[in-house]
Structures are given as C-alpha cells and as structure tokens.
Amino acid sequence: MIDPRACFLFPSRRFASFLAVALALVTFPQGWAESPLTQPNWPRFLNDDFSGSAKLTDSAPESIASLDWNDPPKFHWALEVGDGYGIGVVRGENYFHFDATEDSERIRKIDLATGAVRWSRSYPLDYRDMYGYETGPRCSPTIAEQSDDFGDAQIFTYGVAGQLTVWSCDSGEQQWTVNLNEKYDVVQNFFGVGSAPLIIGDQVIVMVGGSPEDQQSLAPGRLDRVVPQGTLMVSLDRATGEILWTGGDDLASYSSPRTITVDGKQYLLMFARDHLWVLDPTDGKSLGKVYHRADILESVNAIIPVVDGNRVLISDCYDAGSAVYDIAVKDVNATFETVWKDPVGRRRSQSLRSHMSTPILHEGNLYACSGRNAPDSDFRCVDFATGEVKWTALDRRRSTATRFGDVLLVLRETGSLHIIRATPDQFEELAVWELESAGGDRPALQFPCWSAPVLIGNRMLIRGDRTVLCLSLPEHDPS
C-alpha cells in the first residue's frame, strides 16, 4: 500500500504555508464574503443543530440545485494537516483545526480568507492505536460563543487519549485541561476517544465511560470484560473544569451527545456502546435506555442519533441495523415505542446500516451511507417514517454527506465529491468533482476522506487524510 503521506504535493510545511497565502492573495476577490450563500458559523460537529446541513442566507436562491455545478470549483488554499480524522469548525472569519503531529495534539486557528495560521497550540500526547490507525483526534472541536459569564468565545478539544482542553478562540490561551481517561480509569476503546463535546449553558458535557480502577489491568479493547461505573457522561463547569455531575452506566462509543426536546423540556440523548440513553442534563440522572448493538466484541456505535420531534433513529452496520423510536417522558421515566426496526442479523433485509457517518434527514427522508466498508457500502434514500428504501447508488465505497438546501454534497472516501439532488424520487447526480486528482494549483485529496464537508459563507472546506481544501461554491448573482 502506498503511504498517503508520500503523495502530498508540497515538499515542506513552510512552502505549503507560503503557497497558500500567495494563492489566496491572487484568487480571493475583494469582498469575497459579500452575499454569502450560507451562514458564517459552523461551531460543532454536524453544525449547531446536529443536522449536518448548512444554513442558507436570504441571498441564497430558492433551489441550490439550480446553481451551475458543472464547472470545477475554484481553489483558494490548502492546509497541510497531521494525524486524525475529524474536520474542524468555523467561527466568523476563522477555521479551527484539531490534529496531531509527532507526539502532541494541536489546535490551530486559520484565516479563512488566506489559509494563514493565526496561532497554534499543542500539548503532549501518548497514544498508540491498537489497530494501527492514526494517532490523532477522531472528533471535531466545539465552539461556545462569547458571553458575560465566560468572556471570550471558547473552543473545546477532546483528544484521542481523553484530554479535554478549553482554549480562548481569540488568543489561543489554554484556560484549563483535564485527562478524563486517567481520572475515570477508562479501559482503552478500540480506536480511542471519538466523541465531540456538547455545550449546554454553563456546562461542557462529554462521553467518558469509565470503570473501576482495578480494571486497568485488563488488556486494552477487552470491552467484554469491562464493568462500567456510572460515568458514561461527565459534565464540567465551562469556566473552571470542575466536575458537576456524572451519569449513565455504560461504556463509551464513538457517537457524540446531543439534545432532544420532549414536551417543551430539553433532555440529553446519548448513543453509547450498548444503549441509547435519555439523561437529565441538569444532574445526569438516567430517565431510560434501550439496547442497540451487535452482539460481537468488535462492533461499535458511532452515528449521532437523528431526531425529528420525539422520534429518534439509531443505527449500526454490524448486525443490528436501524431502529426508530418514539420517545416520551412522564415524570422521571422515558419510554421508547418502536416505530420500525430492522431485523437483527439479516443484513440484506435491513433498511439502513450506518457505520461512521450520520444520516441526513430532509423532508421526511434519510440520505446516508449504508454498510461497513468497501465493497459492502452504498449511498441510499430511506423513508424515515417507514424504513422503506427509495433508491440506492454509489455502490462499493463508504461516504459522508452534507446537505446544502436541496442538494447533497456526498464525499466518497476515495476523494470524489458527488453533487446529488436531495429527492426521494430517484438518484439524480448533478456533477462529480474528482478531488482525488490534482488540478492546476490544487493538490489532490488523499485517502481516506472520512469527514463530511463544512460549508461556510461562499466556501467549502473538504478534508482528505493529509489536506484540507478551501474551495468556492458555485457563483450566484443575488440580483
């Protein structure tokens, strides 16, 4: 196998930074952010509403599919990145990228207009993956906005070895840090920590999944022998890092916590290793859970639950498939009424087998990659209410997707970006951009491309193994 590091176009980091700035000065027109198609912030994984969708501005056309997608996108800059699999987040005119280099994890603030590094901060990292995957972070950072109580906007990073750190978005100053794997005696999961932090008010809530101290003698990954100790979720004070509460008796997954509102009250929803949990975000008390995982040791849960009102979809690619539940909360008890559920163990009969990427819900239909890996994967449309498969396409490769109005940007893990109309009627491909091949001044994306694109202003941020590309969205005349 060719090492993707050897395929990087630029011979050095210094030259890469110089070239990015030089190209940006040439290709970024004055006032590039005027009449943007999408809103200026993407503060967390899958955006602030967990939908994986870009929020359109008033200047965007009624149909994004009507834009001219045939011309290749204009290239603005490329950022060379280290180990890790997540894409970054955006606040205003800055992109924040979290990765690892040598023996440290690193957070960098990048000027969106030029690709120049405004600041870079790092801390030591001691982690080796059991399966030989990269040593860097698996998840995106999370930004919490500026407020009277907390001062500057904060950015929270949660590293592959369990280091939770908060930084000032403006200055990069480290405000506090704590290693939650060490604090709660976490037995190493197969691929380390892979859950993005969640901000609720004055809390930062993360998935930990700790165990009794004596279980540190167990071999890493022997999760069949690990006993949880009520620390699935841990809440910390945003200002101080003080522990506010712990809750949930389960081990960690690679999903990320999110919120759900039931009868006007907000709850915490967590798809853990074994169960889907509903917790009270004020004190971490468990209100209920439902089991969902394939009964083999190496199976994992990874998608963020998809929510529509009281209905929640969860999915696994190994044996369990998908299930949709109606969640109700009465007094302090949550109930889970099955709307539809895939037959366990019958993969060919299952509607949706989500692995790493979270499905996109749009107008009552799910758009998602289904399957574990090549050649067992496709991209499909599934009716959220019934589980009926409307169509399948893009066979034999995994993919991730971001919705942009009535269009889906589907990034295959090999690096091609497919522009697809978001309709259940049929698979309709508007264009394909072969980003795995270099074009002009633009370097190629390297396998694997496992992060869904981020859309901000009039730009797309798309990540391959060693590179983040900043590209233009199609031009639009708001007049």
CA separation for the pair 26, 32 (Å, rounded): 12
* pLDDT at residue number 219: 83
Q: What average pLDDT does the structure give for the chain?
A: 91
Query: For residue range 253-299, what is the model confidence (pLDDT) as tens digits?
Result: 999 999 999 999 999 999 999 999 999 999 999 999 999 999 999 99
State residue 205 phi and psi, 5-degree precision: -115, 130
pLDDT at 5 over 70: no
Residue 32 is assigned to a structural domain of this protein: yes
Amino acid at position 347, single letter: R
**Non-local CB neighbours of 96 within 8 Å, separated by 6+ positions:** 88, 89, 90, 107, 108, 109, 110, 141, 143, 155, 169
In the chain, the percentage of residues whose pLDDT exceeds 90 is 83
How many Cβ atoms from other residues are within 10 Å of residue 296's Cβ? Answer: 9
Residue 33 pLDDT: 53
* Residue 445 included in any domain: yes
Domain count, the chain: 1
Average pLDDT of the residues in 449-457: 97
2/50 Cα distance (integer angstroms): 35
Better pLDDT: 445 or 24: 445
Residues 6+ apart with CB under 8 A from 104: 122, 123, 124, 125
User: With bands split at pLDDT 50, 70 and 90, how would you rate the model's confidence at 447?
Assistant: very high
> Which among 95, 270, 301, 35 is positioned nearest to 190, based on CA atoms?
301
CB-based burial of residue 317 (10 Å sphere; 0-12 exposed, 13-18 middle, 19+ buried)?
buried
Choice among 12-21, 60-69, 196-205 with the minimum mean pLDDT:
12-21
- 381 pLDDT higher than 50: yes
pLDDT band at 11 (very low <50, low <70, confident <90, very high): very low
pLDDT for res 475: 87
Does residue 370 lie in a domain region?
no
Cα–Cα distance list, 288 to 272, 280, 283, 309 (Å)? 13, 10, 14, 18
Of residues 199 and 374, the one with the higher pLDDT is 199
Q: How far apart are CA 170 and CA 149, in angstroms?
A: 16
Look-up: residue for tokens 């700790």? Answer: 210
**Residue 111 is assigned to a structural domain of this protein:** yes
As a whole number, mean pLDDT of residues 330-358 equals 95
Cα gap 116→138, rounded to integer Å:
24
Instruction: Report the SS3 class of residue 444.
Output: coil
- % of the chain residues with pLDDT over 70: 92
- At 34, the pLDDT band (50, 70, 90 cuts) reads low
The pLDDT, as a whole number, for residue 216 is 87
Neighbour tally for 415: CB within 10 Å: 22
Residue range 121-125: average pLDDT?
A: 97
Distance CA 189, CA 235 (A): 20
Residue 124 inside a domain? The answer is: yes
Residue 425 has pLDDT above 70, yes or no: yes
Domain that holds residue 63: 7-138+436-479
Residues in the chain: 479
Residue 28: pLDDT band with limits 50, 70, 90: very low
Residue 3 has what pLDDT? 35
- 27: pLDDT confidence band, cut at 50, 70 and 90? very low
Domain membership of residue 133 (yes or no) is yes
Lowest mean pLDDT among 28-37, 364-373, 464-473: 28-37
Q: Which residues contact 1 (CB under 8 A, 6 or more apart)?
A: none
Say if residue 346's pLDDT is above 60: yes
- 77 inside domain: yes
Whether 96 is in a domain gets the answer yes
The mean-pLDDT minimum among 34-38, 39-43, 61-65, 257-261 falls in 34-38
Residues with Cβ within 8 Å of residue 342, at least 6 apart in sequence: 320, 321, 322, 323, 349, 350, 351, 352, 353, 387
User: Rounded to 10 degrees, what is the CA torsion of 41, 105, 369, 461?
Assistant: 40
pTM for this model (two decimals): 0.92
pLDDT score recorded for residue 479: 67
150 vs 69: which has the higher pLDDT: 69
pLDDT grade for 15, boundaries at 50, 70 and 90: very low
C-alpha distances (whole Å) from 309 to each of 200, 236, 259 are 19, 28, 11
